[in-house]
Amino acid sequence: MSQLSLRQAALGPWSETDPVAKAQATLALDLSRPVQPQDTLTATTPGPGRSPRPELVHHTALKAKSLATPEGRAILVHSITHIELNAIDLALDVVWRFAGMPEAFYTDWVRIAQEEAKHFLLLRNHLVGMGFDYGDFPAHNALWDMAERTQDDLLARIGIVPRTMEARGLDASPAVKNKLVSTGDHRAGEILDIILEEEIGHVAAGNRWFRYLCVQRQLDPISTYAELIAQYDAPKLRPPFNMAARRLAGFEEAELAALG
C-alpha cells in the first residue's frame, strides 16, 4: 500500500470526532510525507468530525457568568478552547481541500494545525484542572460557518478566516488575558501568551498567501480584501485593535489605517 500524501493524511484528523484524539492525530502528522499538491481529494463526510458535545447554538444564545465564579471563568476558557478546536479543522481543511498551491503552502498550514492542536490541549487540560472539561458548556459555530461559505474559493478563505476572524483574536487576547489574570488565573494568562505569539505567525501566513494569490490573479490586495468582506458579509472589525501584533503579522500600514 502506498504511503498517504501529506494532504491525504490531513483528512484523518479532520474527520476524527473525538476532540482530544483529533488534536493528537494532528500533532502526529508527518511533514516529511510527499505533499502531492495537484491531487484532487474528496472527504467522506460533508464536514469535519464533531463530538455530540458541546451543544452548538447561535452566538446570541451564549450566556456569560461573572468571572468571580469558577464556572464563569471556565465558560470563558471553554469558549477559547472551542475556537482552537475549530482552528485545527480550518487549517486541515485548507490543506486537503485546495489543490495546486506550492508545497510550502501545505506544510505551512499543517504546522499551523499542529500549533492549534497544542493550544487546544493546553486549554483543555487547564479546564480539567479547573474541574470542568471541553463540551461542558454550549458553543457557537461561526468560524466553521465561514469556512463553509468560502469552500469554493481559496482567496476568500485565506482573506477572511486568518486575516479577519483569526486576526480578531490578536485584538481580543490582551483584554481576555487581563480578565483572567485579574481573577488569579495566572496559568490561563501563560497559555494565552503562548497562543498570541503563535497566532501572530498564523495570521502572517494568511497575509503571505493572500498576497501570493492576489499576484497570481493580478488583483490589488487592499481593494480585493474590501470586496471579499462585503461579498461574504464577514464580521465587522471594531476597536480596540492590537496594532503591534497586527504589524508583526504583516499587515501593511495602509490596511491598519483603514481600520480606523
Query: Which cell numbers in the block locate residue 161?
Result: 478566516
Name the residue ranges covered by the structural domains of the chain: 1-43+62-114+121-140, 152-260
Q: Is the pLDDT of residue 225 over 70?
A: yes
**Contact between residue 243 and residue 174 where contact means Cβ atoms under 8 Å apart:** no
AA letter at 115 = E
**Angstrom distance (rounded) from CA 234 to CA 257:** 19
Q: Greater confidence, 3 or 9?
A: 9
What does each C-alpha distance from 226 to 222, 244, 248 come to in angstroms? 6, 22, 21
Closest CA to 90 of 158, 24, 182: 158
Q: Is the pLDDT confidence value at 154 over 60?
A: yes
3-state SS of 120-147?
A: HHHHHHHHHHCCCCCCCCCECCHHHHHH
Q: What is the pLDDT of residue 95?
A: 98
What pLDDT is stored for residue 62 in this prediction? Answer: 84
User: What's the pTM value of the predicted model, to 2 decimals?
Assistant: 0.96
Bridge partners of residue 56, in order along the sequence: 139
Confidence of residue 163 (pLDDT cuts 50, 70, 90): very high
Q: What is the mean pLDDT of the chain?
A: 95
Question: pLDDT at position 246, please?
Answer: 97
| 55: its cell numbers | 451543544
Q: How confident is the model at residue 61 (pLDDT cuts 50, 70, 90)?
A: confident
State mean pLDDT over 107-125.
Answer: 98
pLDDT per position as a tens digit, 132-153: 999 999 999 888 999 999 999 9
Indicate the pLDDT class of residue 2, thresholds 50, 70 and 90. low
- Could you read off the pLDDT of 62-72 as tens digits, one per residue? 888 899 999 99
pLDDT at 1 over 50: no
Q: Which of 8-12, 57-61, 114-118, 190-194 has the lowest mean pLDDT?
A: 57-61
What's the Cα-to-Cα distance from 213 to each of 69, 167, 180, 209, rounded to whole Å?
47, 19, 39, 6
Share of the chain above pLDDT 90, in %: 89
Q: How far apart are the first and last CA of the chain?
A: 56
**Dihedrals phi, psi of 138, to nearest 5 degrees:** -65, 160
